[in-house]
Structures are given as structure tokens and as C-alpha cells.
Amino acid sequence: MLRPGQPVLLLNISGRAALVESGARLRPGAHTELQLSGAGMRLGIKGRLDRCHVAALAPLRYRGVLFFEQRLDLDDDHGVDRE
């Protein structure tokens, strides 16, 4: 989920960025927070949307890249399931 409450599908994540997909337009340059949750925990990752394109027309889907403000250590146990 991107704040303030925009549901997104997480397609890919690295220590510096995430590729997300949404039914709502993603605005490049917007500062937001990616909220990941699961297993009784929540992780908020602040960042800036860098680019967005239409990924599908029916139904309309957008893909965008979120660059994180701080590097995410994926080797640490943040509760992020990487399988």
C-alpha cells in the first residue's frame, strides 16, 4: 500500500527501489511511503516515485518505480518474505 491508502501490488524490491503496480495513476515526483505488512508486523519505507507507465489497458493498470530515501537492508529480518 502507498500512503495515503492506495493499494499496490509489489512486483519487485531491492535495497534501493521497488516496482509496484496499481489501478490508480502513480504520480512521478510524488513523495510517499510504501507500507508492507504481514506476520503481525508493518514496515514503512519512505521514497519518491520516479516513473510510471500504463502496464495494461483492460483493466487499466499502472506500473511505477519507487526509489527509497534510505537503503533497505534485505539481509536483516524486517519480516519481508522474499520467496
DSSP code at position 6: B
Could you count the other beta carbons within 10 Å of the beta carbon of residue 65? Answer: 19
Band of pLDDT at residue 23, cut at 50, 70 and 90: very high
Q: Return the pLDDT at 77.
A: 55
**13, 80, 83, 4: which is closest to 42 by C-alpha?**
80
- 75 burial (CB, 10 Å; 0-12 / 13-18 / 19+) is exposed
Band of pLDDT at residue 43, cut at 50, 70 and 90: confident
pLDDT digits 0-9 by tens, 46-71: 999 999 999 999 999 999 999 999 99
Band of pLDDT at residue 4, cut at 50, 70 and 90: confident
What is the DSSP code string of 9-62?
EEEEE-SSEEEEEESS---TT-EEEEEEEETTEEEEEEEEEEEEEEEEETTEEE
